[in-house]
Structure formats: C-alpha cells, structure tokens
Amino acid sequence: MKAFILDKYKKRGALHFGDRPEPAVGDDDVLVDIHAAGLNPLDSKIRDGAFKPILPYRPPFVLGHEMAGVVARVGSRVRRFKVGDEVYARPRDGRIGTFAERISIHEGDLALKPANLTMEEAASIPLVGLTAWQVLVDRASLRKGQKILIHAGSGGVGTFAIQLAKHLGATVATTTSTANVDLVRSLGADVVIDYKKQDFETVLSGYDVVLNSLDGATLQKSLSVLKPGGKLISISGPPDADFARQKGLNWGLRQLMRLLSFGIRRKAKGRGLAYSFLFMRADGEQLSQITALIEAGAIRPIIDRVFPFAATNEALAYLDTGRSKGKVVVRLK
C-alpha cells in the first residue's frame, strides 16, 4: 500500500512517499480503507524527534494520528463493526499510521462516523475531540455555571473545546488573534481576549479551569486567572510524574518528569491550585459519545484546508506555520 513514511527523525523533515506492507489484522482488529486523515501538531513533534523519550517509534514508520474511512475486514473476535461500516478513530499509541491507504486498528479505538459529516470532516475530529473530552469531562469535571479559560481558541483543540464547554453549561473565555475573534465568538465563546491587544492575566479572574496548549510563559500567567481550588490542565507540558506512571516510563524518566513540572506544581500548590499534564489516549467509547453530540448539532467541525493525499508534506508544512483555523486534513478518496 502507499503511505507517507518517516525515514528518520529530522526537524521539519519531509516524509517519504512509498510502499509499505499491508497491515496485519489481529483477532480484535479492524482493517480500514482510509478516506481522509487529520493532521496535528503531534505529528510534527514526533517527526522532529521531540517525543522520542515518550513515544520511541523506530523509523521507518508511518505517521498520522486520526482518520475516517470504511471497514474492509474485521478480526474473528470483533463484534461492534462489520465490513462496509463508515468509521473514524484516533489509533492508540504504538499503532499510529493514518497517512496511508489502510490501517489496522483495535476495535476499542473505533467509533461509527457521525452520519452528518463528510469523511474529511470526520477525520478532523478524533484527536482534538478526545483531547477536549478528557480535559473537560474526565480531568476537570466541568459543569454548568463554572468558568473556563481555553487558550488558542481558533486552533484544533480550541475550536472543539469551546463548543464542548458551552454544551456542558460553562462560561467560556478564550485567547486568539484579531483575525479569529469572530470565529471563536461564533463557536460560543463568552469572553474573547485578543492577545495582540490585551493581556489575559490582567483581564480575567475567578476561573475554575484553564486549558493550556501554549508555552511556559502562558502557563505561568494562567495561575493568576484561577480561583482557589481551580485546575490548570496543560496539553503542551511540562509532563508530570503521574503522566510518566500512566505511560509506564522507567524510573529515570519518571524523575525527570517530576523535575520538569516541579516549578509549576509548587507555584500552583502555593496558590491552592492543582496542576496536571494530559496526553490524550485513544478511546472508542468516548468517541461514540462525541458522535452523538455532533449528530445532535451540539458540535461542528472546523476545517481550515483539505489537501490531496499526494500533498501530505505540503499539508504538514502549512500546519507548521501555526496559522491554521481549526484543522488541516488530507483526502485519500
């Protein structure tokens, strides 16, 4: 099958378009013909080698963390899906590879595609949708009447998280650039901070939750926005010891993660706040709940550009500019 292959780790290096063996299909696996694949900053970070200590993939391998497509074959123990089903997924770590014509995915990672979305729209959802769900629902337990600050509201995670937070009944503030103010307001943001004109930490206060996806300086400033008992949850780091334990990392890496997050954890504790790092996980059941929200009209996908499969490297380069509104997707069929 044709695929875009990472031959070696290299910052902003190009992927190699070539042939890969057909995926093996285990008893609990589903073989999917990929129609569209979403791109994410995680793909760029893995390509650049930034995640080697955490996700030690051995080149050559196929990149890509989310897709939508049609079931081509099912393993002997698969019961939830059948040939011909339209599905979407974020494959679990260790089994990525959606920049390819086909992929074998564990049944537990799959969900039926929302009936009201195209393949391209569906492919834009799994990673950002699950990230937002696991931050807002699992980690923050966000509920009606609470206030949340979602940084980078026009990005992939931000556009989804704003809509999910509004569905949960929260008051939502977000940061964005001047060009994207109207977009985030259309998604439901109640308070919009144009970071080119305002400093969010001087405007906002008394918030229950902050979702950070930006740099360390933004993380530090976010502490002042939260009220006592508030939660600062970051998807961009620094990783903490709890994450290291969940990933089964060795003692040395666990200590390193503890040290990396020591400063922000200490400052948070001193203010009566909680800091945690979240690295999303594949979860077909949660994705099915997201499907229900999309089909009910509570959440809509935001796509900036769709590239042809042959232009996957160009799509990654566009993603790397950091200027995309919502998601970037490649179309295979």
Domain segments of the chain: what residues?
2-125+301-331, 127-277
Q: How confident is the model at residue 329, as a pLDDT?
A: 98
Lowest-confidence segment of 202-216, 242-256, 287-301, 319-333 by average pLDDT: 242-256
Residue 246 — pLDDT band, cuts 50, 70, 90? confident
pLDDT for 211-240, tens place per residue?
A: 999 999 999 999 999 999 999 999 998 888
For 177, the token pair is 């650039």
pLDDT for 276-320, tens place per residue?
A: 999 999 999 999 999 999 999 999 999 999 999 999 999 999 999
Q: How confident is the model at residue 254, as a pLDDT?
A: 85
Q: How confident is the model at residue 243, as a pLDDT?
A: 86
For 260, the token pair is 């990396």
Q: Residue 45: is it exposed, middle or buried by C-beta count within 10 angstroms (0-12/13-18/19+)?
A: middle
Angle among Cα 278, 284, 289 to the nearest 5 degrees reads: 90
pLDDT for 88-145, tens place per residue?
A: 999 999 999 999 999 999 999 999 999 999 999 999 999 999 999 999 999 999 999 9
**Sheet containing strand 61-62, strands side by side:** 16-19, 2-6, 61-62
Lowest-confidence segment of 167-171, 176-180, 249-253, 268-272 by average pLDDT: 249-253
Stated pTM of the model: 0.96
Q: Does domain 127-277 have CATH number 3.40.50.720?
A: yes
Phi first, then psi, for residue 265 (nearest 5°) are: -65, -40
Burial 187-226 (b: 16+ CB within 10 A, else e): bbbebbbeeeeeebbeebeebbbbbbbbeeebbbbbbebb
Residue 208 — pLDDT band, cuts 50, 70, 90? very high
pLDDT for 24-42, tens place per residue?
A: 999 999 999 999 999 999 9
Homologous superfamily (CATH) for 2-125+301-331 = Medium-chain alcohol dehydrogenases, catalytic domain (3.90.180.10)
Q: How confident is the model at residue 249, as a pLDDT?
A: 81
Amino acid at 264: I
Q: In angstroms, rounded to a whole number, what is the distance separating the alpha carbons of residues 101 and 81?
A: 19
Secondary structure E strands in 116-168: 147-150
pLDDT for 50-68, tens place per residue?
A: 988 888 899 999 999 999 9
| Mean pLDDT of all residues in 198-215 | 96
Q: How confident is the model at residue 114, as a pLDDT?
A: 98
